[in-house]
Structure formats: structure tokens, C-alpha cells
Structure 1
Amino acid sequence: MSEPLAERLRPRTLDEYVGQKHLVGEGAVLRKMIDAGRISSFILWGPPGVGKTTLAQIIANKLQTPFYTLSAVTSGVKDVRDVIERAKGGRFFSSNSPILFIDEIHRFSKSQQDSLLGAVERGVVTLIGATTENPSFEVIRPLLSRCQVYVLKPLEKEDLEELLHRAVSTDIELKKRHIELRQTDAMLRFSGGDARKLLNILELVVEAESGDDVVITDDKVVDRLQQNPLAYDKGGDMHYDIISAFIKSIRGSDPDAALYWMARMIEAGEDPQFIARRIVISAAEDIGLANPNALLLANAAFDAVMKIGWPEGRIPLAEAVVYLATSPKSNSAYCGINDALALVRETGNQPVPLHLRNAPTSLMKNLGYHDGYKYSHDYSGNFVEQQYMPDALTDRRIWHAQHSPVEEKSYQQMLRCWGKRFEE
């Protein structure tokens, strides 16, 4: 039995690697390190099927250094120590530290990550971690501080089309058939930017055809996937489609759908912390100031799951999900911080107005620091109008109320304080 198509087409060199030009394109940061022949420890963060494992293998081949791999799902502390001992011996055969690749590093426990720290610090191994989860939540701070984090993106349409044409024109098995890619929109849509999923879909459709002539159309792809909906998702990556449906159902105020998608995740064995974390994010991003209690309840549900465990933890999660789905919605805070970040990137480091500066020394006071500052609590209503934005940005607005019943109170308070500045 031949290997799966996705494995047969796994790139062996950077020239064959598709996507992630911001990291491995000409002049990009990782490409420069690889071409220079030396790399430091880093973590690849991105969704499934975008080339994290492949990139690690290509780097090891390019640098001609020993390559060790561990899966965080199946490896324990003893496995980590055994690999480190083998890596110490492997160092004699290369000027570079052996590479230790850890797939799904976010699943490593604190003790497992602690067992890595010394070897990374001493340069016994160069660590390359791969994760689909935010490393700042899942990787211990001492280890994270010794690793650069590189973000991999879902593959673009052009990347996916290149993969499809490469598959039908170069793969040893597919070349035995006459395959016409008449329509590709459905395959690209179902793949969700995941190269492995895309190739699984292609393989599924081709294998379902009896003759040597295969014409691929959107209708045929949809029909095949309806007949066998899990076949194209061999790596369990439907996980990302379901969490997307879950979040969008909460945002769309549909408690039935939100509970359904959460039940799908629970039945599939999803990590309860993963679900709870997404609920907290949704409370802040989508409910926000329309109902600030939503974030409190979401945090309480997260804490409850950590305290009582599973399966009882499903109950506070369900309570939070129904509460969030049925709450009024506002993303004004989410939009506000995004707009503020965009403004900072656009305008750079604007100086702090003198009256807002801290003045702990007499020199600073003599320079005018803090001079003219008005202490709000000394004034009626605990408010006095004065400038808080940098001089160059005094006319810029960032937060815009969305006028839900709760948020309207905040908006009216701003009108009372600032008048026309906050008129929408």
C-alpha cells in the first residue's frame, strides 16, 4: 500500500516548499538563518497543514545536522531525557547543535518543558517546537524566552492551486491517471488553507473514480465529501472548523447551535481547557461592554472546570455558553484596541505631554514634568477636561460606542464629560 498523497508530496527542499514567504522567501528572516548555516531555537505557531513539520525537516537536511523528533502526545519526561543524551553524542558529528523537533509542544506538561530547559540553555540541542496553540499560554516563560516565535499562516489560494497542479503532474501514482482539474473552488474552500486536507480531498475524489480519466468538478467534490465527510480530515483537523462554528454561533446569538458545536467537541475528546479558553475570548471579544458580566462568568466557568474536572465540567461550560449566546453583543473594546494598535504603528512613539509625565525628582519638576496636571478627584463629578492624548493626536478618536443598553450608559457619561468630542 502506497503512502498517502500528502506524505508523497512532502517537500524536501526550500525550493519545493509552498507558502510562508514572509519566513522563508528570499531575504526573509528564517531563510537568512538557514542560508547562513546556523539557527537558534524557535517555535512555529500556526494552524494544521501549513508546513510546520516539513519546515523543521528541511532545515535539518539543509544544515546536515542530526534531527530528533518527539511527539508531545506520546512522550514523557524520560523520553525527553533519552533524546537529550543521544543528542550530546550526536554533537560530535556536526558543528551545529542537533535539532530536537517537538510536535504539538503545547501538550507538553510543565515538568516535560522544564526537562528541556537546561539542554536548550547550554546549546545541547536546538529546539524547534510546533504548535497550533498560542505559545504564550502553553509554553513556560523560561523556555519561551529562549525561543523566537514564528507565525505560519493558512496557505493562500495561489499556494493551494500550485499544490494541486504539482500533485497531478508530478506524483507517481496520480500520473498513472489522466486528471483534469476543471474546477477547484470546492476543494480550496473545504481545505481551509490546509495543504494536507487539500491533498486528502484530491486523493479521495480520484480514488472514487473507476476509470483512468478523472474530471474534477465542484459538484463531484461536494458529493464525495457528503458521502464520506471524515475521509478528507485524516489528521483530525475538522477541530478548527468546529471551533469556528462554535464561536460564530455564540456571536450570532444562537444558544442551540453553540451547545451543539460544543457537544461535538466534547464527544470528539477536545481538551476542556481549550473550550473554556475560547469561551473567555468570546466573552471579551463579542459580548464585551454590552454585558461586562459575561467575562466574569466565562472566567468563573474556566476556574470551575479546572477545579471539578470532567465530565462535570461540561455543566458550567454550558451555563457560560448559553449566557454568552443570549447576551447582547458589542465588539467596541475589541475594535478599539485594534484601532489603537494601528494608530501606534502609523504614528510611532509620540511624546507624552509634559503635564502627564511622572516627576519623581526635582530635575524633572524643573523641566516642567507634571506641571499643570489637574487631579480629577479635586473637581465636581470627579472630572475636569484636559488633554490626555499626545499633541499630534488630540483630534483622533479610537473608542466608538455601539449603544447596547449597558454600553449606552458609558456613552452618555462620555457625552456629559467631553460633549461634542464623543458625538457620533
Structure 2
Amino acid sequence: MRPTRLEDFIGHEHLTSANSVFMSGARNGSLGSVIFWGPPGCGKTTLARLYAKQTDSVFKELSATEVGIKEVKEVFEGAKNTFQLTRRRTVLFLDEIHRFSRSQQDVFLPFVEQGHIQALQLLGATTENPSFKLTGALLSRCRVFVLERLSDEAIEKIAKQALQRLSFERNGDHEPDVFEIPSSPTLGPSTQGSDLPSQSVESATATATPLFPSFPQVTEKVITSLASLAAGDARTALSLLELVVNANMPETELIVSMRQSVSVSYDRTGDSHYDMISALHKSVRGGQGSAAMYWLARMLGQGEDPLFIARRLVVCASEDIGLADPQALPLAVAAFQACQVIGMPECRINLAHIVAYLSEAPKSTRSYEAYKRAEEAAKADSTAPVPMQVRNAPTKLMGDLGYGEDYHYNPNYIHPVSNVYLPPQFNGQVFLRKEGDTEGKEWDEEALKDWEERENGGMPWEGRHTSSSQP
């Protein structure tokens, strides 16, 4: 069901438009080595195959999850021999390239240099951020093309194009030079405005219009539902389409069957794992309890480890709430322990409890920022001696040497007393500053107006009249 020409590739117009860098490189063969970065099912493999066909190259496909350096070197040697005999370049498509270790990735370096690019061209594919997963040396020698999740509209077009191709095959016809995607028929009131009907919705098969005579069960509503369920993954969409074309059931039952066959995709070690926990943490920090609860539900619903979430919330309790609410940390620790003892699914209630509490708690970063200032000072001079007055003096010799001399034990005095606590070069420096200190913070009038409009009902922030930082 994959397209056979670059012209038939759907989606990612920033790559496939006539004047794009990618298409220009495909036409004249000057693209060099490439890394495709995008989520599963967005078209990385298909794009690589079509590129090899467009450039009349020998196509070799490997997966880093299944092969090692031995197999890769065999492709390298074969590419050199092929080029010497036929002058044809070999395109090596390495899926999941981020699975190779740093030393394994270094094997590619001699072959992606300009002098060898005539014989071999590397097209790597990854679902992970290449900045973190690929070596700097390899990354600097490759172009990175970003592929986003496909839109529902693109998924619908892909499904219709595949159906059209299947229809030609079933009828024994030749494929046309240009595929014409059938337009959506006018839908009656019973099918408009809903792409995922419940089982209770009455079947509209009697009035639904088939898109292709060869597949009477495939209606516009079925395609719309398929696109929604695929969630931007063309591979999932085509798997669902296979279920659809082999099914013989009413429209509503078919949609329910598709829904039940789809499992939610979530990579617990990939970018979505870190993106969602970041969204949860930042929602809590911003006092947006509803948003935080949404990300919590998304992560738990997609199989995230509750202890991973609980650990981040323990950090959040100290980093973002801190001294503004001393109860936040023990409550977060209690939630973590509850997750350990209870487990899923019940511990989701404990996590919801602490997410709500932390979101609504007052915020203070005093302790966190104080540590960062102290850390910078400690790094600046890590050899500064401890002042004699506050040194430990467990022996007579150490006392005779002046350790702890003139130290004032604070509880012994009715009044405040002073000691030399810091090395001389840091005397007078304030690492732990008072609440409300605005040093190093900025006033962003545009950001404040945006907050007033979106979250404060258009009313001015009360701090406008009291803030000393207002310009």
C-alpha cells in the first residue's frame, strides 16, 4: 500500500514541495548523508525508499535493532564494488540508528565524508532527538530533516490513495499516472460532527455513501474515524485499513471494531516520555492544576511507571514550592511511598492528590536558587580553607592550634552573636535571599498582559501596585 513515486508521497510538504532542499537534492543527487527524525509511522522508511528509486540507487535497508557493525561493513564493501562496476550509488537506510552505541556510530565517519559519498549514501532514521542520541562527529556530517506527526487530513488521503491502488489491483486495471483522491461526499446530519461514535449510535450504513465500489463498507465516516484512531501514524492507519477492507459489517460496528484493535502508543524511554513529564512539571509550577491533571492521566493511561512520576513530584515539591509550604515535601514523599506500597491502578488517586496539592500550593524557589548560587561560588574556589573559628576541635592538639577558637555557641546567648562562617573571599555574600527578592528577575509587560487576559479574566494583576520591579 506504500506509494511508488515521490510525487505520490503525502504529508511533509516542507520536504516534498518542488523547490524544497530535499526534492532538489533528490533530483540532482547532491543531498549527502541524511538523518530523518520523526515519530513512528510518519513516513521515514517510505521517504528513504522513494528517494533511492528517484536517484536510481541500490537500496539496502537495515535496522540497528537487528544488525551489528559486521553487517554494516558488508554493505560498505558491497557499495564500493557496485560503484566500481556499475557507477551506481548505494543508499543505506539504517532504521533506529540511535540504537547504535557511540563507538558503533563512529564506523560511519569515513563513509559519510565527501570523498566516499559517491559510492554510499547514509539515510538514518530515528524517533529520538539526534542531538542527544547521535555523536557530534556523525551529526555534523549529516543533514537532519524533521518529520512531524501526520495530520488527520494527511492520514485520510493516505488511506484513500491505498484504497484506490487496491481497487485497481482487485479489478486488474493499470495504475494511473496521477492518483485522484476522491472528495468527501456530503454527509447527512447523522454522520456530521462525530468521528468516533459510541456503540449506541444507530448505524448509518443505509444512507452512507461508499467511497469505492470495490469496498462498499468503506464510507467517509469510516475513513474519518480511522484517521483519528491512527493518531498521526500511517503504519497504524494502513493496519486498520487492512482490517476494514476484509470486514463485512455495518458502519458503526466496523468503527467500534477499529477502536478496539488500536492500542495507545507511548514510548516510556523516548521523547514523549520526557516531553510529558516536562509538561506535567511545568503545569504544576505554573499553578495550572487542570493541565497537570491531564498530563498525569495521559501518562498513567499510556503505561508510564507511577514511581517515575512520583519521583519528579518529590523534586518539584522542593524546587518549586520549597519554603513557601514546608508540608509539600513530606506529602510528596508520602505519595511516592504510597505508590510503592499500593501500586497501580489505585495509586493514581494518590498521585492525583499530590498533583492537585502542589499545583495549588504557593511557590518559592529560594532554597533551590540559593543552592545554585552557593554551588557556583564553591566551583569558583574549591580550595578555600574552613575558617578556624568554625573548625571542629575534637583533640587538645587541634584546640592548641586554634581550631574552634573564639567560637560563639549561639544557644548560650540571649542576644545574637557573630562568627566567621565563610572563607574571607565570600564574606558578605548572600546565597539564601529573602522571599520576594527580585534581583536577577525580569519584568515582561507583554507576558504579564497575556496572563491577565487569559488567566485573570482581563483584570490587572494585583502585584502591579506593589511590585518594586515595575518599570
TM-score (norm 1): 0.58
Once the 2 structures are TM-superposed, how far is the Cα of residue 151 of structure 1 from its aligned partner? 0.7
Residue 328 of structure 1 aligns to a residue whose secondary structure is helix
Question: Within 5 Å, which residues of 2 pair with 1:291-370?
Answer: 291=321, 325=355, 328-329=358-359
Which residue is equivalent to 2:257?
224
Q: How has the CA–CA distance of structure 1 residues 189 and 141 changed in structure 2, closer, same or farther, with 3 Å as cutoff?
A: same
Q: 221-230 vs 62-71, which deviates more? A: 221-230
Once the 2 structures are TM-superposed, how far is the Cα of residue 16 of structure 1 from its aligned partner? 1.3
Q: How has the CA–CA distance of structure 1 residues 198 and 41 changed in structure 2, closer, same or farther, with 3 Å as cutoff?
A: same
Question: Within 5 Å, which residues of 2 pair with 1:170-181?
Answer: 170-171=165-166, 172-173=169-170, 176-181=214-219
Q: C-alpha offsets along residues 116-171 of structure 1, whole Å, 9 cap, x if unaligned?
A: 12221242522111111111111111101111111112222332222222222221
Match of 2:155 among 139, 156, 160: 160
The answer to whether the 8 A contact 2:42-2:149 is kept is yes
Q: Say if 2:40 is the partner of 1:33.
A: no
Q: 86-95 vs 237-246, which deviates more? A: 237-246
Match of 2:164 among 161, 169, 174: 169
Residue 127 of structure 1 aligns to a residue whose secondary structure is strand
Give ranges in structure 1 of 5+ residues lacking alignment.
Answer: 1-8, 267-274, 298-313, 331-376, 405-410
Q: How has the CA–CA distance of structure 1 residues 203 and 292 changed in structure 2, closer, same or farther, with 3 Å as cutoff?
A: farther
Q: Say if 2:247 is the partner of 1:208.
A: yes
Q: CA RMSD in A?
A: 5.0
Q: How has the CA–CA distance of structure 1 residues 164 and 38 changed in structure 2, closer, same or farther, with 3 Å as cutoff?
A: same
Q: Say if 2:189 is the partner of 1:196.
A: no
Query: CA separation in 1, counterparts of 2:154 and 2:20?
Result: 18
Query: CA separation in 1, counterparts of 2:260 and 2:140?
Result: 47
Once the 2 structures are TM-superposed, how far is the Cα of residue 249 of structure 1 from its aligned partner? 7.2
Once the 2 structures are TM-superposed, how far is the Cα of residue 63 of structure 1 from its aligned partner? 1.0
Residue 8 of structure 2 aligns to a residue whose secondary structure is coil
Match of 1:252 among 292, 299, 307: 292
Q: C-alpha offsets along residues 211-230 of structure 1, whole Å, 9 cap, x if unaligned?
A: xxxx6x4x334410354345
Q: 179-188 vs 27-36, which deviates more? A: 179-188
Give ranges in structure 2 of 5+ residues lacking alignment.
Answer: 171-211, 282-290, 324-328, 330-342, 361-428, 456-461
Which residue is equivalent to 1:149?
144
Q: How has the CA–CA distance of structure 1 residues 132 and 145 changed in structure 2, closer, same or farther, with 3 Å as cutoff?
A: same
**Could you tell me which amino acid in structure 2 is paired with residue 224 of structure 1?**
S
Q: How has the CA–CA distance of structure 1 residues 53 and 282 changed in structure 2, closer, same or farther, with 3 Å as cutoff?
A: farther
Question: Within 5 Å, which residues of 2 pair with 1:409-424?
Answer: 416-419=467-470, 421=471
Which residue is equivalent to 1:187?
226
Query: CA separation in 2, counterparts of 1:146 and 1:255?
Result: 37
Which residue is equivalent to 1:120?
112
Which residue is equivalent to 2:410?
none
Query: CA separation in 2, counterparts of 1:259 and 1:162?
Result: 30
Q: How has the CA–CA distance of structure 1 residues 224 and 115 changed in structure 2, closer, same or farther, with 3 Å as cutoff?
A: same
Which residue is equivalent to 1:70?
62
Q: How has the CA–CA distance of structure 1 residues 288 and 99 changed in structure 2, closer, same or farther, with 3 Å as cutoff?
A: farther
Higher percent of residues as helix: 1
Match of 1:101 among 84, 89, 93: 93
Q: How has the CA–CA distance of structure 1 residues 165 and 402 changed in structure 2, closer, same or farther, with 3 Å as cutoff?
A: closer
The answer to whether the 8 A contact 1:287-1:328 is kept is yes
Which residue is equivalent to 1:111?
103
**Could you tell me which amino acid in structure 2 is paired with residue 21 of structure 1?**
E
Once the 2 structures are TM-superposed, how far is the Cα of residue 395 of structure 1 from its aligned partner? 8.2
**Could you tell me which amino acid in structure 1 is paired with residue 16 of structure 2?**
V
Query: CA separation in 2, counterparts of 1:255 and 1:63?
Result: 44
**Could you tell me which amino acid in structure 2 is paired with residue 181 of structure 1?**
T
Query: CA separation in 1, counterparts of 2:214 and 2:139?
Result: 47
The answer to whether the 8 A contact 2:310-2:351 is kept is no
Q: How has the CA–CA distance of structure 1 residues 72 and 93 changed in structure 2, closer, same or farther, with 3 Å as cutoff?
A: same
TM-score (norm 2): 0.53
Q: How has the CA–CA distance of structure 1 residues 28 and 396 changed in structure 2, closer, same or farther, with 3 Å as cutoff?
A: farther
Which residue is equivalent to 2:74?
82
Residue 469 of structure 2 aligns to a residue whose secondary structure is helix
